[in-house]
Amino acid sequence: VRLVMKAHSFIRENVPRVLSSVKDKSGTVHIPKISQYLYFLFAPTLIYRDNYPRNPMIRWGYVATKFAQVLGSLFYAYYIFVRLCIPQFRNSSQETFNLRGLVLCIFNSILPGVLILFLVFFAFLHCWLNAFAEMLRFADRMFYK
C-alpha cells in the first residue's frame, strides 16, 4: 500500500510538469532522476518533491538507538506471544469445539492483540522510519506541524 501511494504521488507531481512542457513545445522536459526517485522511495514521506531539506550530518548514535528499540519491540512481541497467546491456543486446540471456548479464546486474545498492535505502530512508524530518516539525512521532521 505504501509503495502504491508513493507511486501515485510521484506520477501526480511529475505528469502535469511533463505534459505542460510538451504542450508548450519547450525544448527541455524536466524528468526526475533515478536518484531522486530512489531517495523518495526510502524517505519517510508520501509527498514527492525533487529536493527535500537535508541535515548536514548523520547521528549514528540516534540510528543505533532506534534500531535497538525495534529489536526490543520484537523481543517484547515474542514475549507476549509466548506468555499470553501460545498457552491460550494450545489449550483451546485440545478441547472440543464449543461456543463458550471460542468466546473465551477471543476475549483472552484482545489484550495481547492490542499490545502487538501498539508495538507494530511504535516499531515501524516511530523507530524504523525515524532511523531511515536519520540515515537519509531527511530534515523535514516537523512537516505535519
The reply to whether 106 and 59 lie within a common domain is yes
**Identity at 63, one-letter amino acid code:** V
The reply to whether 73 and 46 lie within a common domain is no
Residues 6+ apart with CB under 8 A from 6: 40, 41, 46, 48
> Alpha-carbon dihedral of residues 92, 98, 104, 105, nearest 10 degrees?
40
The reply to whether 70 and 24 lie within a common domain is no
What is residue 73's predicted lDDT score, i.e. its pLDDT? 96
The reply to whether 39 and 16 lie within a common domain is yes
What is residue 30's predicted lDDT score, i.e. its pLDDT? 79
The reply to whether 43 and 74 lie within a common domain is no
Q: Report the number of distinct structural domains present in the chain.
A: 2
The reply to whether 123 and 85 lie within a common domain is yes
**Identity at 72, one-letter amino acid code:** G
What is residue 144's predicted lDDT score, i.e. its pLDDT? 52
The reply to whether 109 and 48 lie within a common domain is no
- Identify the domain containing residue 25 by its residue range: 1-52
What is residue 93's predicted lDDT score, i.e. its pLDDT? 67
The reply to whether 60 and 41 lie within a common domain is no
The reply to whether 66 and 105 lie within a common domain is yes
User: Which set of grid coordinates corresponds to residue 66?
Assistant: 532506534
10 Å CB burial of residue 36 (0-12, 13-18, 19+) is middle
**pTM exceeds cut of 0.95:** no
The reply to whether 66 and 39 lie within a common domain is no
Rounded CA separation 119/122 (Å): 5
The reply to whether 107 and 131 lie within a common domain is yes
How remote is the C-alpha of 59 from its chain's centroid? 21
What is residue 119's predicted lDDT score, i.e. its pLDDT? 95
Q: What is the pLDDT tens value at each position of the chain, 145 positions in all?
A: 989 999 999 999 988 888 887 777 766 777 888 999 998 988 888 889 888 888 889 999 999 999 999 999 999 999 998 998 888 777 776 777 788 878 888 888 899 999 999 999 999 988 998 898 899 888 876 555 4
The residue out of 17, 36, 52 marking a domain boundary is 52
For the packed helices 99-120 and 60-80, what is the interaxial angle rounded to 10 degrees?
170
Residues 6+ apart with CB under 8 A from 18: 29, 30, 31
